[in-house]
């Protein structure tokens, strides 16, 4: 079922895709290559210039960096057109982003330039995909499903109760932690190995979304893990206590932090692998809230109803924000800010991609 949104989105992208490449005049295109200064940086015969040569370009597999993620792409007409209109979208390995300036084009000029470069670069002969890449997205999908369904399955009373009887509570928690961690590590490695397959081209402004969302996510995370809450693992006895702090805002603060993390990172990462990874994390967090509520209602019985009536699944739905923040205190806010600033500046070192817009 989770593949349906991705398939629908892919279909929408196809429907909204640009019109087919128009035929241009190669002779006029060659004139434009000199008039616009392209020939100063790109040679026609393979000789060294500041930019890549056009000779043998078409049909060649190129190593590029797209949105700071390395990938391989076949240089076809669509790639050439995109490189003219958006020169920094796919940066060829060994070249610096921003080296090629964007050029204002009159109607038809791009068609002429594409036709000229295709003629100079040779007939399109796309290379077959290398073995091992074909299955990497399927591996990522399998890892993400294992991560999501493993969480929910092991947390269900149907599996949890018999396993606890056999292993004890501590034994079950140990097994649960190992399996979930293994699935998470598998998912991360599968994501790093997955090819870049674009679903949509993210506008530059979308990079601000995680910058704005993540301080809230860190705040929810810090408060969630430092506040007693019967929705948290092994804290069921707190159901009788008066909700305090972040629990007045939502009874699932920690899960909301992961949901915001996942949802906030989808818009600026419009490739299949990122949608799978971040969508899986967000889906697990949201499904986990509903699953925990259902499980706690069964396990805690009548004690759950008063707590559920005083709290909400959706943040800020119950009001009482002023009292909540007074109970949260300044220390948690400072810790959340420090974590956010640390991740903002250490994102490239830890994740390999800069978090700065």
Domain limits, the chain: 15-121, 131-195, 199-351
Identify any residues that bridge with 64 across adjacent strands, giving them in sequence order.
71, 92
First-to-final CA distance of the chain? 33
CATH of 15-121, one of 3.40.190.10, 3.40.190.80, 1.10.3720.10, 1.10.760.10: 1.10.760.10
The Cβ-side half-sphere exposure at 86, using a 13 Å CA radius, reads 11
Record the tokens describing residue 261, joined without a space.
């993390």
Instruction: Count Cβ atoms within 10 A of the Cβ of residue 302 and give its class: 0-12 exposed, 13-18 middle, 19 or more buried.
Output: exposed
Residues 6+ apart with CB under 8 A from 306: none
pLDDT of residue 210: 93
Decide: 243 and 328 in contact? Cβ < 8 Å.
no
Record the tokens describing residue 56, joined without a space.
């043998």
Q: How far is it, in rounded angstroms, from Cα 142 to Cα 145?
A: 5
pLDDT of residue 341: 93
Alpha-carbon distances, residue 234 vs 172, 197, 296 (angstroms): 12, 41, 11
Q: How far is it, in rounded angstroms, from Cα 278 to Cα 290?
A: 19
Q: How far is it, in rounded angstroms, from Cα 71 to Cα 130?
A: 12
CA 147 to chain CA mean position, Å:
16
Q: How far is it, in rounded angstroms, from Cα 355 to Cα 357?
A: 6
Q: Kind and range of the H or E element at 91?
A: strand 90-92
63 φ, ψ (degrees, to nearest 5): -90, 120
pLDDT of residue 161: 74
pLDDT of residue 289: 92
Per-residue pLDDT of the chain (357 residues; tens, 9 = 90+): 433 344 334 333 333 333 334 468 888 888 888 777 787 788 888 877 778 888 888 888 888 888 777 888 888 888 888 888 888 888 888 787 777 777 777 767 888 888 888 888 874 444 444 444 444 788 999 989 988 887 777 777 677 777 777 877 777 677 777 888 888 888 888 887 887 777 887 787 888 999 999 999 999 999 999 999 998 877 888 888 889 999 999 999 999 999 999 999 999 888 888 899 999 999 999 998 998 898 888 888 889 999 989 999 999 988 888 899 999 999 999 999 999 999 988 887 777 667 777
Q: How far is it, in rounded angstroms, from Cα 292 to Cα 154?
A: 12
Q: How far is it, in rounded angstroms, from Cα 205 to Cα 10?
A: 22
Residue that has been written with the tokens 């149907």 in this structure:
158
Decide: 51 and 100 in contact? Cβ < 8 Å.
yes
Closest CA to 248 of 319, 170, 195, 303: 319
Q: How far is it, in rounded angstroms, from Cα 78 to Cα 138?
A: 26
Q: How far is it, in rounded angstroms, from Cα 334 to Cα 292?
A: 29
Decide: 61 and 74 in contact? Cβ < 8 Å.
yes
3-state class (DSSP) for residue 161: helix
Closest CA to 29 of 118, 121, 113: 113
């Amino acid at each position: 079922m989770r593949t349906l949104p991705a398939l629908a989105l892919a279909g929408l992208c196809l429907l909204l895709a640009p019109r087919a490449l128009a035929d241009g005049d190669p002779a006029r295109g060659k004139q434009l290559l000199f008039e616009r200064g392209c020939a100063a940086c790109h040679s026609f015969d393979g000789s060294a210039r500041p930019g890549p040569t056009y000779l043998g370009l078409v049909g060649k597999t190129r190593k590029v960096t797209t949105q700071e993620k390395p990938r391989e792409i076949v240089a076809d007409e669509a790639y050439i057109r995109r490189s003219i209109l958006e020169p920094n979208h796919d940066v060829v390995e060994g070249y610096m982003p921003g080296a090629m300036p964007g050029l204002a084009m009159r109607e038809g000029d791009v068609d002429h330039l594409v036709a000229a470069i295709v003629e100079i670069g040779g007939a399109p002969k796309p290379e077959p995909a290398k073995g091992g890449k074909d299955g990497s997205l399927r591996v990522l999908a399998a890892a993400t499903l294992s991560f999501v369904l493993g969480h929910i399955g092991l947390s269900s009373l149907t599996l949890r109760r018999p396993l606890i009887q056999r292993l004890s509570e501590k034994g079950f928690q140990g097994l649960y932690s190992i399996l979930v961690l293994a699935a998470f590590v598998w998912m991360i490695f599968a994501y790093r190995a997955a090819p870049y397959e674009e679903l949509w081209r993210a506008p530059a402004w979308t990079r601000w979304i995680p910058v704005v969302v993540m301080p809230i996510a860190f705040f929810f995370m810090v408060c969630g893990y430092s506040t007693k809450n019967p929705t948290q693992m092994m804290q069921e006895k707190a159901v009788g206590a008066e909700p305090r702090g972040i629990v007045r805002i939502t009874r699932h603060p920690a899960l909301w932090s992961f949901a915001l993390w996942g949802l906030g990172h989808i818009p600026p990462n419009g490739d299949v692998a990122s949608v799978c990874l971040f969508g899986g994390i967000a889906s697990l967090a949201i499904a986990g809230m509903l699953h925990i509520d259902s499980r706690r209602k069964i396990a805690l019985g009548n004690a759950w109803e008063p707590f559920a009536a005083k709290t909400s699944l959706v943040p800020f739905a119950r009001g009482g924000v002023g009292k909540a923040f007074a109970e949260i205190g300044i220390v948690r806010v400072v810790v959340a800010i420090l974590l956010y600033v640390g991740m903002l500046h250490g994102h490239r070192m830890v994740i390999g991609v800069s978090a700065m817009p």
